[in-house]
Chain A
Amino acid sequence: EVQLVESGGGLVQPGRSLKLSCAASGFTFSNYYMAWVRQAPKKGLEWVATISTSGSRTYYPDSVKGRFTISRDNAKSSLYLQMNSLKSEDTATYYCARQIAAPYWYFDFWGPGTMVTVSS
Chain B
Amino acid sequence: DTVLTQSPALAVSPGERVSISCRASEGVNSYMHWYQQKPGQQPKLLIYKASNLASGVPARFSGSGSGTDFTLTIDPVEADDTATYFCQQSWNDPFTFGSGTKLEIK
7 closest A-B pairs by beta carbon, nearest first, are A105-B90, A61-B94, A110-B42, A106-B33, A45-B97, A47-B95, A44-B99
The answer to whether residues A45 and B86 also contact, given A62-B94, A100-B48, A113-B42 and a CB cut-off of 8 A, is yes
Bound together, the chains give a CA A55 to CA B99 distance in angstroms of 30
Bound together, the chains give a CA A113 to CA B33 distance in angstroms of 20
Bound together, the chains give a CA A2 to CA B23 distance in angstroms of 32
Which residues of chain A are within 8 angstroms of B96 by Cβ–Cβ distance? 47
Which applies to chain A's interface (DSSP): helix, strand, loop or mixed? loop
Interface string of B49-62 (1 = CB under 8 A from A): 10000100000000
The answer to whether residues A110 and B44 also contact, given A44-B98, A104-B49, A105-B90 and a CB cut-off of 8 A, is yes
> A104, B31: Cβ atoms under 8 Å?
yes
State how many residues of chain B have any CB contact under 8 Å with chain A: 22
B43 contact from A103, A105, A110, Cβ within 8 A: A110
Most buried by B among A44, A45, A106, A111: A106
Which positions in B face A, CB cutoff 8 Å?
A: 1, 31, 33, 35, 41-45, 48-49, 54, 86, 88, 90, 94-100
CB neighbors of B among A59-90 (8 A): 61-62
Q: Does A8 contact B (CB under 8 A)?
A: no
Q: Does A29 contact B (CB under 8 A)?
A: no
> B43, A45: Cβ atoms under 8 Å?
yes
> B31, A46: Cβ atoms under 8 Å?
no
> B54, A44: Cβ atoms under 8 Å?
no
> A44, B86: Cβ atoms under 8 Å?
yes
Interface string of A94-120 (1 = CB under 8 A from B): 010000100111111111110000000
Which residues of chain B are within 8 angstroms of A37 by Cβ–Cβ distance? 43
Most buried by B among A45, A62, A108, A112: A45
